[in-house]
Structure 1
Amino acid sequence: MNVKLITLSTMLCLGGLTAFAQIDLAPKFIDSLAKNAKEIVLEEKIKIRLNSPAEGLYTYRKLVTVLNNSSKANAIYVVYDAETPVSQLKANLYNQFGILVRKIKKEEFEDFAAVDGFSIYQDNRVKGMVITHTEYPFTVEWEYEQKMKGPTLALLPDWDIQHYGTAVQSGELVVEVPVTLQLLYRSVNIDTKPSINTLKDGYQQYTWRVNQLKAIKEEPYAPHPDQVLPQVQLGSNTFLIANYAGSMSTWKDFGRFMASLYRGRDELPSELKTELDAVLAGSTTNTEKIERLYRYMQGKMRYVSVQLGIGGWQPFSAEYVYRNKYGDCKALSNFMKAVLGYANIRAFPVAIQNTEEVPKTLDEKFASDPSFNHVVLYVPAEKIWLECTSADYPINYLGEDNADRQVLLISEEGGQLLRTPALSGNDNREHWQAEFNIETEGQIVNTVKADFFGANHEIYRALKGQLAAKDRKEWLEKNLNLALFSLDSLQLNCATATAQASLAFKAELSRMGSRSGKRWFVPFNPLNPLTKAPVKAEDRQQRVISRKAYVQESELSFILPAGYQVESLPFTEKKLEGPFGKFQVNVVQEAGKIQIKRRLQIEAVDLPASEYAAFSNFYREVAKWDGVKMVLVK
């Protein structure tokens, strides 16, 4: 790949971003940095100046060459609110020859509400821009300043030196703090240390520089990016947010600060106490009390995401939730904590990263931005976890996206890192029983019963609780792996006390498999075949992470059409076994019937990179044997 890059000296000057009608080119850098790269950062300069524990200034400049359409470096989004306004926002676009194509001013940037898809109220807004150009490569300059106040002082922005597919020619981070403040910092996945100088104005200056960093290729089933990509993580031993003082010196300190935001917000009105007395009447154990109060909250309150005030960190009071009958994750957890407190049961809010991706790993010795985006509740004495935003989860079930990850228990005594319970393969199991009555004319009458547990039951609980019967049926018709002609006698039920759902239906299928002359090719597993496998990859670099363990069991009966007999079966038994899982299929042929028992057990794994090929091959083998067909002949 032979692409020309713009030289730095003609692009940036100390006074700010300066655009030139034409600029010099420097093709010599590209060959060493282009491999695996989607973009090359020619220069990035970030400066953070903390004026006090209560406010600071963030200055950002970046010159980046976009190499192809898989890059996102041609876009910028800056989140702000009334306390953290953005200024000096501008951009320039240069073509592959270094000629200025366009100057972009602040007024041209889009400005829109930071809608996350589920919050109905938010303080945050976004200034954003996507720059497009018809020919690659092209180069973009970004520049802006932003006032720092509120949560950005507690969670100082880390320097993400590289993203996947980003090569860096030159990068610099400068942090200036008053000598009375202590800057907390560490480098992750890179060996770089700051130079430290004392300035004449009484500030301590820390400077990190990097040069000539090759792009890191993104790989499937990899660890969290924070375990792979280079970063400089920052924190402050003292910050002040809306008159609440805190520290990121330790997780204990940060948890104590978070607890101060909850202080005094657990008072209950007298009429609520009367209701709670009725709910608790006759209960004898703490577990029974917890379940009753949890069901009370689920039945009376609804989840509404409201990201307002102090970065969305401080909950509405328990009385507010009671009066309005709604709250976000913080408010509902705080309400539940308050009503449990009324029953003399001590509970604690827990900050958590709710994500279906690999969650961030937290270092117990260094408190950094934890990427928490959710709050649940924990009752230590009973070892019970409560997902307070769910209207129908059983007690002590948090859901797949909250399972097996580090969390911060929030307490006046200080924060404590814990880990939520993992869901094992046996927890996440499903069992199918199905009969396929294949008629001579080609129609198939299908009867199905299935039970789902743990993570595998969640979608069915959501269907039951959130969709009308007509919509549930339409969803199943679309998502079942069957050529449905009709779907009848549909029953979907969810257990109250356990993470379990059951599904039953009768269906008429328009087809199954394919026909050729007098032969009929019928799939062994028409219900839930494994069809996707990890892609092949050479020169794997990262560890192999697969977090979900589960078990699928199927008992399938095929009633053969009159006049047909089995000409061939691919096998009568198949077994695969390894550290990634187990797969077993047994086939029994009887008069006019084929019975198949299938069991797939997938393990959660954390393996060295050298195991990726075997990991991928296991799934490919399962997919191959799941896709085989029996041959019927007249």
Structure 2
Amino acid sequence: MRKLGVLCVALVSASSLWAQKAVVEEWTTQVECHTPVHATQHFKTVTTIQNEHGASLALFVCSCSKNDKLTSFKGQVTDASGRVIRKIKESELNKTEYSPYLAIDDYKLYFDYTPPVYPVTITYEWTIDSRNNLIEFPGFWPQTDYDVSVKKASYKLQAPKGMQVRYALQNMDAKVEQTDGTNDTEIFSVQVENLPALKQEPYSRPLRERLPVARFAPTVFEYYDSYGSLASWTDYGKWEYSLIQGRDVLSDAERQVLHELTDGLKTDREKVEAIYQRLEKTTRYVAVLLGIGGQQPAPAAHVSKNGFGDCKGLSNYMRAMLKEVGIPAYYTTISTDNPRLLRDFASVGQMNHVILQVPLQNDTLWLECTNPQLPMGYVHEDIAGHDAIEISEQGGRLVRLPVYADSTNLMQNDISIQLSALGDADIAIEQHTANRQYESLIPLLKMDEKDRRKVLLQMVRTPQAEIRQLHVSEDGANIRLAADIHSQKYATQAGKRLMVPICPVHRGYTVPSATTARVGDIFREMGYLDVDDIELTIPDGYELEVRPKDMQIDNAFATFAFTLQIEGRHIHVRNRLLMKSGTFDKALYPELVKVMRAIADIYSQKVVLKKI
């Protein structure tokens, strides 16, 4: 699904350094809506880049299309004294039509500039003429990155009085003023001043959820000769349903194939799985976003014939196949970026993806038709817990996708370490990952053997290691890994003693900095469970001299237990860490640092074996 609206901004990259890298001196957006299908949009940005960390702010990028045309542009660069050191003309803009999609109306105009000195002030001013696609107006995004403050920014929208313009503000301490304009128009304006720079902190909410933004949209719209209302999510859903209506027709031959495939199956779940597997084998993801095709799916028969489609087309095709075998399913729009939709402000631009909801008798399946290689019904990290709009003939209904419980995001390691008197070791690892921890290892399935071995050596703390055997397999939302590793120097010799690591996994367990000047609350998006069962065999002629103490932690962030037991020549180590997801008061940050440091210390502990 295409993200709507004209995007003309200076691109930025986040910096972890707490030093202001730029100041937005002025950010102005002026929109004049002449008719429901025609608007002129004027933009101006004046940005002082303080140092090299803000260099990417010098890049100008403007998204255009055959319906959004750049009609004017000028740029200027001045140094700290105000001297003009560079003027930029429209003829200097570069055009790129590169896109991951097969066909798309959009193209980008850009100017890539590297400041020769700092500080430097860059001014860009441009105008876009938009026709036939005013499903929403440009948003107001005066702040775009960490470490960037804003002195003054304003937004002004002039529209015919009868248009019924709606708006919504997020993270913005401002009001939208409504005044009468000339020629029977109404003006909507908002202004902000002296916005402080946002600080990037460990375990904070994503930047996109913290930035101030104002959204504007007409209630009733005309979009590529399609008419609809955004008065509510219900109305939005009615418009979306009108775009898919009649596009679920399949050929007689395909209908016969579907019945041959499913008529002998006993349950609806079995039928869904059979058809989902068929989708995987017969289609691939390819997007064609021309005109209203940015919002409307290709007919199911076209996707079937061509063997490809985008998220809209593939979801609609899957819906059509399920309908043929008597299983209802709902076309569902969702955002992979924004977990929460504005409940009282329906808009197309809040969504960028389509999935399929299949309500079965004892379960609701969420199908990612764009990537049917995922296990059927697996809710991946880009949509888990996100709001979505279920589309039906009755309209749109706000729903929320499930989130896997922290304890189900599992990594289980069963490890056997056969240590020799010389300090080398044979290590056998069997690892099982599930749900979100499974998802993080999916790339392993697509790697060749050489790259898999490189990744494994990064996961396992084994000096001078050689992987002798490695096997990786997938079973639903689970990955199982089995490896035999030989380390020539697993333990360190010191006279008659061997210093032996007790946990060869969780390499590089990170601990955040212990700064006390925390600004925002703590946010951990994913919780997980790590369980390690480790058996270390003591070599002949040695005995255990020094061991770490058992430890237990139980607080708001985690429960952790470490135990070590001795049985003859075998040392048994068990780690169990349940890291919890959620939002926590910023005052607890020192406690988070403390518990993570304690866990890291245990993972890096050693036992001391003494020669008898």
Normalising by structure 1, we get a TM-score of 0.88
* Aligned residue in 2 for 1:90: 74
Judged with a 3 Å threshold, the aligned counterparts in structure 2 of structure 1 residues 249 and 219 are, in CA distance, closer, same or farther, namely farther
Q: Which residue number in structure 2 is paired with residue 570 of structure 1?
A: 548
2:15 match: none
Output the CA distance in 2 between the equivalents of 1:319 and 1:471: 40
Match of 2:285 in 1: 303
Counterpart residue type for residue 88 of structure 2? I
Q: State the SS of the aligned residue for 1:159.
A: coil
- Which of 380, 385, 397 aligns to 2:359? It is 380
- C-alpha distance in 2 between matches for 1:81 and 1:54: 15
Aligned residues: 590
**Equivalent in the alignment of 1:448:** 429
- Report whether the alignment pairs 1:488 with 2:472: no
Alignment of 1:267-416 (within 5 A): 267-310=249-292, 312-355=294-337, 359-368=338-347, 371-382=350-361, 383-416=364-397
The one-letter amino acid of 1:486's match is: E
How far did 1:214 drift? 2.6
Instruction: Select the residue among 227, 233, 242 that pairs with 1:260.
Output: 242
* In structure 2, C-alpha distance between the alignment counterparts of 1:258 and 1:510, rounded to whole Å: 62
Is residue 133 of structure 2 the alignment partner of residue 146 of structure 1? Answer: no
**How far apart, in 2, do the equivalents of 1:73 and 1:392 lie?**
38
Structure 2 residue 86 is matched with structure 1 residue 106: no
Amino acid of the residue matched to residue 366 of structure 2?
W
Q: What does residue 22 of structure 2 align with?
A: 39
- C-alpha contact (below 8 Å) 1:78/1:128 kept by paired residues: yes
- Distance in 2 (CA, whole Å) between partners of 1:560 and 1:305 is 59
Q: Secondary structure at the match of 2:608?
A: strand
Offset at residue 209 of structure 1 (A)? 2.1
Is the 1:377–1:387 Cα contact (8 Å) retained in structure 2?
yes
Letter in 1 for 2:467: L
- Return 227-236 or 343-352, whichever deviates more: 227-236
Identical aligned pairs, as a percentage? 26
- The whole-number CA distance in structure 2 between the counterparts of 1:305 and 1:119 is 5
**8 Å CA contact retained: 1:585, 1:598:** yes
Shift of 1:283: 1.8
Alpha-carbon shift at residue 271 of structure 1 (Å): 1.3
Task: Confirm whether residue 617 of structure 1 aligns to residue 601 of structure 2.
Answer: no
Once the two structures are superposed, the pairs formed by residues 51-90 of structure 1 within 5 Å of their partners are 51-71=34-54, 72-90=56-74
In structure 2, give the amino acid aligned to 1:514: T
Contact (CA 8 Å) 1:360, 1:371: kept in 2 or not? no
Contact 2:459 2:506 in 1 (8 A): no
Displacement of 1:461: 4.2
Aligned in 2, Cα 1:226/1:463: closer, same or farther, shift over 3 Å? closer
Which of 98, 105, 112 is the aligned partner of 1:123? 105
Q: Deviation at 1:535? A: 2.9
Distance 1:53 1:429, change over 3 A: same
Tell me how far apart the structure 2 counterparts of residues 396 and 385 of structure 1 sit (CA, whole Å): 5
3-state SS, counterpart of residue 192 of structure 1: coil
Give the superposition deviation at 1:432: 0.9
Is contact 1:224–1:361 with CA below 8 Å preserved after alignment?
no
Q: Distance in 2 between matches of 1:401 and 1:271?
A: 36
The residue matched to 2:331 in structure 1 has which SS?
A: strand
TM-aligned CA distance change 1:269 to 1:220, over 3 Å: same
* Residue aligning to 2:567: 590
Per-residue deviation, residues 530-560 of structure 1 (Å, max 9, x unmatched): 6112333333222221111110111111122
Q: 1:176 aligns with which of 141, 153, 158?
A: 158
Deviation at 1:50, TM superposition (A): 1.6
Q: 1:601 Cα shift?
A: 0.4
In the alignment, the residues of structure 2 paired with residue 429 and residue 233 of structure 1 have an alpha-carbon distance, to the nearest angstrom, of 40
- Structure 2 portions without partners, runs of 5+: 1-17
Report the alpha carbon displacement of residue 339 of structure 1 after superposing the two structures with TM.
0.3
Q: Give the AA of the match of 1:501.
A: I
Residue in 1 that maps onto 2:4: none
Q: 1:279, 1:296 within 8 Å by CA — same for their partners in 2?
A: no
Separation in structure 2 between the aligned mates of residue 362 and residue 431 of structure 1, nearest angstrom: 36
1:14 equivalent in structure 2? none
- Which of 411, 417, 422 does residue 436 from structure 1 map onto? 417
Partners of 1:192 and 1:402 lie apart in 2 by 31
Residue 478 of structure 2 corresponds to which residue in structure 1?
500
Is the partner of 1:400 in helix, strand or coil?
Answer: coil
Given the superposition, is the C-alpha separation of residues 212 and 530 from structure 1 closer, same or farther in structure 2, using an over 3 Å criterion? same
Post-superposition shift, 1:368?
4.4
State how far apart, in whole Å, the 1-side matches of 2:104 and 2:538 are. Answer: 60
Paired position in structure 1 for 2:225: 243
1:475, CA displacement in angstroms?
4.2
Pair 1:541 & 2:524 matched? no
Q: CA deviation at 1:478?
A: 5.1
Give 1:470 shift. Answer: 5.3
1:216 to 1:491, Cα distance in 2 relative to 1, 3 A: closer
Between the aligned partners of 1:477 and 1:397, the Cα distance in structure 2 is 29
Q: Counterpart of 2:485 in structure 1: which amino acid? A: A
Query: In 2, distance between residues paired with 1:450 and 1:477?
Result: 14
Query: RMSD of aligned C-alpha atoms?
Result: 2.3
The answer on whether the counterparts of 1:149 and 1:241 sit within 8 Å (CA) in structure 2 is: no
> 1 CA distance for matches of 2:399 and 2:151?
40
- Give the whole-Å Cα distance in 1 for the aligned partners of 2:335 and 2:379: 12
Helix, strand or coil at the partner of 1:401: coil
- Tell me, in whole angstroms, the C-alpha distance in 2 between the residues paired with 1:150 and 1:511: 69
Letter in structure 1 aligned against 2:355: V
Contact 2:459–2:505 at 8 Å: present in 1 too?
A: no
Q: Which residue of 1 aligns with 2:407?
A: 426
In structure 2, do the counterparts of structure 1 residues 305 and 515 end up closer, same or farther at CA, with 3 Å as the change threshold? farther
Contact kept in structure 2, 1:67 and 1:137, CA below 8 Å:
yes
Please report how far the alpha carbon of residue 217 of structure 1 lies from its aligned counterpart in structure 2 after TM superposition: 2.1
Structure-2 residue corresponding to 1:193: 175
SS state at 1:337 partner: helix
User: How far did 1:627 drift?
Assistant: 1.6
| Paired position in structure 2 for 1:16 | none
Mark the CA change 1:311 to 1:69 in structure 2 (over 3 Å): closer, same or farther: farther
Separation in structure 2 between the aligned mates of residue 471 and residue 275 of structure 1, nearest angstrom: 40
Structure 1 residues 229, 302: CA separation in 2 closer, same or farther (over 3 Å shift)? Answer: closer
Deviation at 1:439, TM superposition (A): 1.9
Deviation at 1:443, TM superposition (A): 2.6
Q: Distance in 2 between matches of 1:108 and 1:177?
A: 33
**Aligned residue number for residue 558 of structure 2:** 581
Task: After superposing the two structures, state which structure 1 stretch, 443-452 or 504-513, moved more.
Answer: 504-513
Q: Which amino acid aligns with 2:500?
A: V
Contact 1:226–1:360, Cα closer than 8 Å, also in 2: no
Output the amino acid matched with 1:428.
Answer: N
CA shift at 1:158, angstroms? 1.7
What amino acid is the match of 1:231? V
